């Protein structure tokens, strides 16, 4: 689930609520085949036709607007299937150009309900915790109640809208804990007697926390691009003349700190990455010494390979042990080879590598991938039969 999109949806919902507008949330809950967006893509629709987010490359949104209005008029959630394998889709006015079957759930939002889908999304993204978000629907019969976004689990904390049948509740929570453990979304089709319920159990990670050590001019475009991605940025530098908030986007946190003070001011979790960009060897070295003691997902060192090699050799000569798994997370020179020259191009190169490293991808051209871009196994619905 793109965190930036969710923040935009939350902001749009709060604004619509203040204006007294009704809203509906459209969520891609399953895809069989290819599509522009994957499960977890969302679109907020207001009763005056304002759209925030996206469930396709633009081809579904027109019809989604009509379906959302219908759901609002009925005050009832509904599941809609878009079959882009059907050659008649163009005659229907959709003109998709994809090659898959897309299941989209439309949920009218009741702002007075403290556990409505948007409130559950707020809980999922407003804390830096991994979450499992459960969305329930009926594939067997679209006339059955579509329970929708119903449950959120963060560690031992559970938030439910109270609509889940007791017989499904325990197994849902058990599978949600599996999602948190594996950090992978899953799909389940639960069968109990004559009842059947499909679940999209979505792994939701916090936004990337990008910590840039250094506040030079080359950091400015990097912060701007990271902000577009919805990443949370922190810029820290020991020079007050450079570490000034007005030089960066408003959402960027700017700190003035010496090397030995930085980690006292910054929390580190699984989604925290560091870039060493001070252009000051001793400052970067001090930071690298401190960071290898932490479990950091990505540490990027700006500058030539010789600079990083020198820092690592100096640390080893001082008797500092660098764990092998942490050494693999140190990248120098930071960035992908795209022929970058300007600060903007270098920023693009760096952010692309950070994204690739966090997603555990190798950053190669998509045309080199022989199979599908997204594994079909990722969206396989596993059937689970419960004891009668």
Count of Cβ atoms closer than 10 Å to residue 121 Cβ: 24
Q: What is the DSSP letter of 180?
A: H
Antiparallel, parallel or unpaired: β 232-237 and 209-213: parallel
Contact 134, 201 (CB under 8 A): yes
The answer for residues whose C-beta is within 8 angstroms of residue 53's C-beta and 6 or more apart is 5, 8, 9, 41, 42, 43, 44
| First and final C-alpha spacing in the chain | 34
Q: What is the pLDDT of residues 313-330, one digit of tens each?
A: 999 999 998 888 889 999
Which two three-digit tokens encode residue 85? 């394998």
Residue 142's pLDDT is 80
pLDDT band at 93 (very low <50, low <70, confident <90, very high): very low
What's the pTM value of the predicted model, to 2 decimals?
A: 0.89
Residue 368's pLDDT is 85
Residue 251's pLDDT is 94
Average pLDDT, the chain: 90
Count of Cβ atoms closer than 10 Å to residue 317 Cβ: 8
Residue 33's pLDDT is 82
Residue 198's pLDDT is 94
Residue 92's pLDDT is 42
Q: What is the pLDDT of residues 231-282, one digit of tens each?
A: 999 999 999 999 999 999 999 999 999 888 899 999 999 999 999 999 999 9
Which two three-digit tokens encode residue 149? 């976004």
236 or 3, higher pLDDT? 236
Q: What is the pLDDT of residues 180-239, one digit of tens each?
A: 999 999 999 999 888 889 999 999 999 999 999 999 999 999 999 999 999 999 999 999
Q: Which residues pair with 196 in a beta bridge?
A: 191
Residue 1's pLDDT is 63
Three-state DSSP class for residue 86: coil
Q: What is the pLDDT of residues 104-140, one digit of tens each?
A: 999 999 999 999 999 999 999 988 899 999 999 998 8
Three-state DSSP class for residue 188: strand
Radius of gyration of the chain (CA): 23
Instruction: Compute, in degrees rounded to 10, the torsion defined by CA atoms 254, 247, 14, 55.
Output: -100
> DSSP for 15-82?
HHHHTT--EEEEEEEEEEEE-SS-TT-EEEEETT--EEE-SSSSSSHHHHHHHHHHHHHHTS-EEEEE
pLDDT band at 30 (very low <50, low <70, confident <90, very high): very high
Residue 194's pLDDT is 81
Residue 335's pLDDT is 96
- Among the listed residues 63, 79, 69, the one whose alpha carbon sits nearest the alpha carbon of residue 49: 69
Distance CA 64, CA 36 (A): 15
pLDDT band at 42 (very low <50, low <70, confident <90, very high): very high
Q: What stretch of H or E contains 190?
A: strand 186-192
Distance CA 111, CA 118 (A): 9
Handedness of CA 47, 7, 154, 171 (dihedral sign): positive
Antiparallel, parallel or unpaired: β 272-276 and 298-301: parallel
């Amino acid at each position: 689930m793109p965190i930036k999109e969710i923040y935009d949806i939350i902001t749009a919902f709060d604004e619509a609520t203040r204006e007294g507008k009704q809203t509906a949330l459209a969520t891609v809950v399953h895809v069989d085949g290819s599509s522009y967006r994957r499960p977890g893509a969302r679109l907020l629709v207001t009763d005056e036709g304002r759209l925030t987010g996206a469930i396709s490359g633009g081809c579904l949104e027109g019809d989604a607007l009509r379906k959302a209005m219908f759901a609002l008029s009925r005050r009832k959630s509904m599941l809609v299937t878009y079959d882009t394998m059907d050659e008649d889709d163009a005659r229907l006015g959709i003109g998709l150009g994809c090659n898959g079957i897309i299941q989209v759930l439309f949920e009218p939002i009741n702002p007075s309900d403290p556990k409505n889908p948007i409130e559950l999304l707020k809980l999922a993204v407003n804390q830096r915790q991994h979450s499992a978000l459960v969305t329930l629907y009926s594939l067997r019969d679209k006339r059955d109640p579509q329970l929708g976004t119903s449950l959120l689990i963060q560690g031992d904390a559970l938030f439910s809208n109270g609509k889940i049948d007791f017989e499904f509740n325990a197994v849902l929570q058990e599978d949600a804990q599996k999602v948190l453990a594996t950090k992978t979304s899953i799909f389940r089709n639960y069968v109990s007697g004559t009842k059947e319920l499909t679940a999209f159990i979505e792994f939701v990670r916090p936004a990337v926390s990008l910590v840039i050590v250094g506040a030079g001019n080359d950091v400015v475009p990097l912060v701007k691009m990271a902000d577009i991605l919805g990443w949370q940025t922190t810029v820290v530098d020991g020079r007050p003349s450079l570490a000034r908030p007005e030089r960066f986007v408003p959402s960027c946190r700017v700190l003035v700190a010496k090397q030995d003070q930085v980690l006292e001011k910054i929390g580190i979790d699984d989604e925290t990455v560091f870039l060493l960009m001070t252009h000051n060897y001793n400052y970067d070295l001090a930071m690298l010494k401190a960071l290898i003691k932490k479990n950091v997902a990505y540490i990027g060192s700006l500058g030539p390979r010789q600079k990083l090699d020198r820092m690592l050799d100096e640390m080893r000569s001082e008797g500092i042990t660098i764990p092998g798994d942490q050494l693999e997370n140190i990248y120098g020179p930071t960035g992908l080879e795209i022929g970058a020259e300007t600060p903007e191009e270098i920023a693009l190169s760096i952010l692309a590598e950070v994204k690739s490293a966090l997603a555990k991808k190798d950053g190669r051209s998509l045309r080199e991938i022989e199979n599908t871009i997204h594994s079909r196994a990722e969206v396989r619905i596993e059937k689970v039969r419960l004891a009668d």
